């Protein structure tokens, strides 16, 4: 499904990163890692073809493909404008990890080694203060996501970093 709708290598890698982070949080909350991982994997699958109608266009495709309402509503909840409440741990986690995965990737790519293994939470916190760095990524969403999960920001960064370190080769990091 992801590959059928997404040709961009960077967007596919983002999907893999969000999948890994969602699997981490599924384990932390005692939930189904495969289900949460699939939500993460498919959360942006429609973005490349429908950037102006994302994720609503994707929700229609997911519905036609037989995905359940809860799965679809979870995907929709990661975008505020869709109006779906983040009233479950899966919905909160998806919102919390989405922007952060992109930010962590950007931080890794500016390291001399370009390796996620060399990224520390403190350096991420410092980069978040640099408004010119990765300016398209919403710091307020990253901060709000950690708060909605009820996890201190630095701990949340460390959790997601550890999840990404586990799939570093797939991410090219």
pLDDT tens-digit readout, 51-80:
999 999 999 999 999 999 999 999 999 999
pLDDT of 23 reads 98
pLDDT of 150 reads 97
Residue at 172 is within a domain: no
Residue at 83 is within a domain: yes
Q: What CATH number is attached to the domain comprising 146? A: 1.10.3210
Distances, alpha carbon 147 to alpha carbons 78, 84, 150, 154, 155, in Å: 15, 18, 5, 11, 11
Q: How crowded is residue 20: how many other Cβ atoms within 10 Å of its Cβ?
A: 24
Domain residues for the domain of 63 are 2-167
Ramachandran region, residue 127 (left: φ > 0; alpha: ψ -120 to 50; beta: rest): alpha
**CB neighbours of 147 closer than 8 A, spacing ≥ 6?**
153
Residue at 100 is within a domain: yes
Residue at 68 is within a domain: yes
Residue at 156 is within a domain: yes
pLDDT of 71 reads 98
Residue at 25 is within a domain: yes
Number of domains in the chain: 1
C-alpha to C-alpha distance for 133 and 127, rounded to whole angstroms: 7
Average pLDDT, the chain: 97
C-alpha to C-alpha distance for 28 and 162, rounded to whole angstroms: 13
pLDDT digits (tens, 9 = 90+) for 11-52: 999 999 999 999 999 999 999 999 999 999 999 999 999 999
pLDDT of 162 reads 98
pLDDT digits (tens, 9 = 90+) for 139-170: 999 999 999 999 999 999 999 999 999 999 99
Residue at 173 is within a domain: no
pLDDT of 146 reads 98
Residue at 7 is within a domain: yes
Nearest Cα residue to 20 out of 100, 77, 86, 74: 100
pLDDT of 149 reads 97
C-alpha to C-alpha distance for 44 and 22, rounded to whole angstroms: 14
């Amino acid at each position: 499904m992801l590959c059928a709708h997404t040709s961009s290598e960077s967007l596919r890698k983002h999907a893999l990163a969000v999948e890994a982070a969602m699997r981490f949080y599924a384990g932390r909350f005692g939930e189904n890692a495969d289900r949460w991982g699939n939500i993460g994997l498919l959360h942006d699958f429609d973005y490349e073809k429908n950037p102006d109608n994302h994720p609503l266009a994707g929700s229609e495709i997911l519905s036609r493909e037989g995905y359940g309402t809860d799965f679809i509503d979870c995907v929709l909840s990661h975008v505020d404008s869709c109006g779906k409440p983040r009233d479950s741990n899966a919905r909160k986690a998806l919102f919390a990890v989405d922007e952060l995965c992109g930010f962590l990737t950007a931080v890794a790519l500016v390291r001399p080694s370009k390796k996620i293994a060399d990224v520390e939470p403190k350096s991420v916190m410092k980069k978040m203060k640099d408004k010119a760095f990765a300016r398209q990524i919403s710091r307020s969403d990253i901060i709000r996501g950690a708060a909605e999960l009820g996890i201190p920001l630095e701990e949340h960064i460390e959790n997601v970093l550890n999840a990404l370190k586990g799939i570093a080769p797939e991410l090219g990091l």
